[in-house]
Structure 1
Amino acid sequence: MEKMRPEDANIVVDSTYSRYHESDDDDSLSYVSGQSLASSVTRYRYENGRRYHAYREGSYYAPNDDTYSNYETIVHHLWLLTLDDKLFLAPIAEPHRILDVGTGTGLWAVDMADAHPNASILATDLSPTQSTTAPPNIRFEIDDAASEWTYAPESFDYIHVRGLTGCIRDWPFLYTQAYEHLEPGGWFEHAEFSVTTNADPEGESKADKTYHNFSQTILTIGAEKTGQRFDTLLHMKTWMEAAGFTDVAEHHFIWPIGPWPKDPKLKELGRWGERNWQDGLEGWIMALYTRILGWSYQQVMDFVGEFRKVIKDRKNHYYQDVRIVVGRKPREGEVVNERAEAGEMGS
């Protein structure tokens, strides 16, 4: 496979990047810690120094502790930078009944509640890690998005999914659930970032090997070991069209890993993109590598330490693919293509 270079994505490299230090930044990339809901009935799984959800235990690979809450703040900021502070791309001015699937710490849902005070927002997740100071127009519920949804049909006019790669075994089923629970004319939006980068699969450098082997390991774990695929963003548009949505549009973005681009916006994205990998890596792989690959805790930490050195290496110019797909449920009587048979939706 031919290597994707920065110039292939029309990214001009900052010639001073090789001498870049974090002290060159205008701030310290500080963030506010997420808060956890206290509950006398909450149970968690503690493993290798990290805390994981207990409800539907093992169905999600990432921790739900304060460290991961801090990390989710970084990712939320990356999305805001990407979209110039917009919270969604669907062409809907004032959504009234919103469902946020897999809300995590609820940052997006809380921002939506603040931005649309007249909207009613339901945000669901496997873990009760959302803020206790949420606006009054938002409700958090513990739920498994991979199961059959129990809401009344046509309950929402906007459904939002973000960052659930590796969490769902049957994505076409989830898309069908979203279709059924949207009112006619309502919008569905799905946003993900790739676990793959522009690393050369045949490259001999340590960086190329590290990034490529990591991506392939994660993809293999998803496809062969857990059934929860990590190549989600490649199929979102196809799944949305197969589910019956119309006006489907796919938006492409790039997250540089490190502030190596010359363009100011991409440079800022790169600063946070580097932090995304630095702070997220341990949480991404600890459960997967120890439970599935049989690695010890120390092996994972040694790998994370070496990978972080690669991420900080100023000779490297890596980036990852980011996509957002939006689609609309047709109104009654609207002429659209027939919905695909269920067997055709699992591409």
Structure 2
Amino acid sequence: MYHRKSSDENEQYFLPADETEFDRLDMAHHLQLLILDGELHKAPIQNDPANVLDCGTGTGIWALDFGSIHPGSKVIGVDLAPNQPTWTYPNVVFETDDLEKEWTYQKNHFDFIHSRMVGSAIRDWGRYTRQMYEHAAPGAYVELSEHSMWTYCDDNTQPPTSISLTYFTHLTAALSKLNIHTRDFSSRFFRSHLEAAGFVDIQVFVYKVPWGTWPKSRKFKHMGAVCSEVCRTGIEAYGLMAMTRLLGMEESEARAICTEFVDTMYKAKEHIYHLQ
């Protein structure tokens, strides 16, 4: 369908599972490193935490990087889709499972739980964060990294008729049919769920990530270029399936929206960004 291999017929995971998508996920990992100035996480990890859980591991690249730096840690990478490599470090294992179901791990077990970019798959954030709390060891760190599924602009270069707003309006409507409400995503939203679950000493970091090479600073221009490459195939990966399968839109119309969005992004006349 759409010349992209589907990962599952289940609507819960509607993104493709092909080499194009795997490359995009690895590039998204590189973008995350740029955002965090080369660091794998913000949590003040010391030494090698004994048990680490990487939620939404994707291609497994974060879990592998962490495992290589922390050989004394046992790292479990879990994802709904089996997109991970067959080769891994001795201290890294991958599991295919649904994080929204009851976790079967030992309670009070993990010293570090890392969750990144699972926003388009989690329906019940209250339950998700509660299970994190139940399975985190006393004194453990939990880190969530998500991004807004909306674009913003500070200088009025994005008109109300922008194709980016059209695209995200459709995507938001599509995901809401799966009970995934991405317009709620904000630092306040995630903080409230962590607090309700019982977590303390919560720190929030918010970053502006440009779409396109419009920033003047060298750092953010490079970040925008990498983000554009991530989004080049990501716009289609998210948009086509969501708009056709969930909204009943004709494929030609959905593809036209995606193509126009990518073209607009590369022209960089609209100074747009997302929050992460």
TM-score, with length taken from structure 1: 0.74
1:53: how far off?
Answer: 2.6
Instruction: Return 5+ residue gaps in structure 1 as ranges.
Output: 1-46, 323-347
Does the alignment pair 1:97 with 2:56? no
Residue matched to 1:173 = 127
Does the alignment pair 1:227 with 2:179? yes
Residue matched to 1:212 = 165
Counterpart residue type for residue 137 of structure 1: N
Q: Does the 8 A contact of 1:168 with 1:229 survive in 2?
A: no
Report SS of the residue matched to 1:289.
helix
Q: Which has the higher strand share?
A: 1
**Aligned pair partner of 2:86 in 128, 132, 140:** 132
Report SS of the residue matched to 2:148.
strand
Query: Which of the pair has more CA radius of gyration?
Result: 1
CA distance in 2: counterparts of 1:238 and 1:149, whole angstroms: 22
Matches within 5 A, 1:188-199: 188-199=142-153
Q: Encode CA deviations 1:171-229: one digit per residue, 9 max, x unaligned.
A: 110000000000110011000111111159x98848x5211222222222233x11012
TM-score, with length taken from structure 2: 0.93
Q: Does the 8 A contact of 1:146 with 1:168 survive in 2?
A: yes
Q: Does the 8 A contact of 1:203 with 1:209 survive in 2?
A: no
**Aligned pair partner of 1:157 in 101, 111, 123:** 111
CA distance in 2: counterparts of 1:288 and 1:313, whole angstroms: 25
Does the alignment pair 1:84 with 2:30? no
Counterpart residue type for residue 84 of structure 1: D
CA distance in 2: counterparts of 1:139 and 1:131, whole angstroms: 10
Q: Does the 8 A contact of 1:199 with 1:212 survive in 2?
A: no
Aligned Cα root-mean-square deviation (Å): 1.9
Residue matched to 1:115 = 69
Q: Does the 8 A contact of 1:197 with 1:211 survive in 2?
A: yes
Does the alignment pair 1:75 with 2:13? no
**Aligned pair partner of 2:226 in 272, 296, 315:** 272
Residue matched to 1:325 = none
Report SS of the residue matched to 1:226.
coil
Report SS of the residue matched to 1:109.
helix
Counterpart residue type for residue 123 of structure 2: R
CA shift in 2, pair 1:303/1:214, >3 Å: closer
Does the alignment pair 1:145 with 2:133? no
Q: Does the 8 A contact of 1:165 with 1:232 survive in 2?
A: no
CA shift in 2, pair 1:298/1:58, >3 Å: same
CA shift in 2, pair 1:216/1:299, >3 Å: closer
Report SS of the residue matched to 1:52.
coil
Moved more, 57-66 or 174-183: 57-66
CA distance in 2: counterparts of 1:197 and 1:301, whole angstroms: 19
**Aligned pair partner of 1:296 in 234, 243, 250:** 250
Moved more, 84-93 or 208-217: 208-217
CA distance in 2: counterparts of 1:112 and 1:160, whole angstroms: 11
Counterpart residue type for residue 62 of structure 1: L
Q: Which has the higher helix share?
A: 2
Q: Does the 8 A contact of 2:214 with 2:269 survive in 1?
A: no
CA distance in 1: counterparts of 2:115 and 2:92, whole angstroms: 16
Large movers: runs of 4+ above 3 Å = 202-206
Q: Encode CA deviations 1:264-316: one digit per residue, 9 max, x unaligned.
A: 21111111111122121110112111111112333222222222211122322
Does the alignment pair 1:64 with 2:17? yes
Q: How many residues align?
A: 272
CA distance in 2: counterparts of 1:318 and 1:182, whole angstroms: 37
Percent of pairs identical after alignment?
Answer: 33
